[in-house]
Amino acid sequence: MDIKQASKQAKEASIRLAAVSNEIKNKALGEVANALQANKLDILSANKADLEKAEAENLASPY
């Protein structure tokens, strides 16, 4: 998917999301937060590996 397709999909999703109730949006955000917490160690490990790879390949620092 290129950036134009991603932008179009994001815009379409934002229009649909605007019609969703706050209760449903809050429930979805809570589920996302729970999933992030449940996968915290895996996410941090993958991030560390990405940073190490970027450093080894002399890529620009994200900081």
pLDDT (tens digit, 0 to 9) for every residue of the chain, 63 residues total? 899 999 999 999 999 999 999 999 999 999 999 999 999 999 999 999 999 999 999 998 877
Structure tokens that stand for 18 in this block: 């605007």
Does the pTM exceed 0.85? Answer: no
The dihedral over CA atoms of 26, 31, 37, 39, expressed in degrees to the nearest 10, equals -150
Q: How far apart are CA 16 and CA 9, in angstroms?
A: 11
Q: What are phi and psi of 21, to 5 degrees?
A: -65, 155
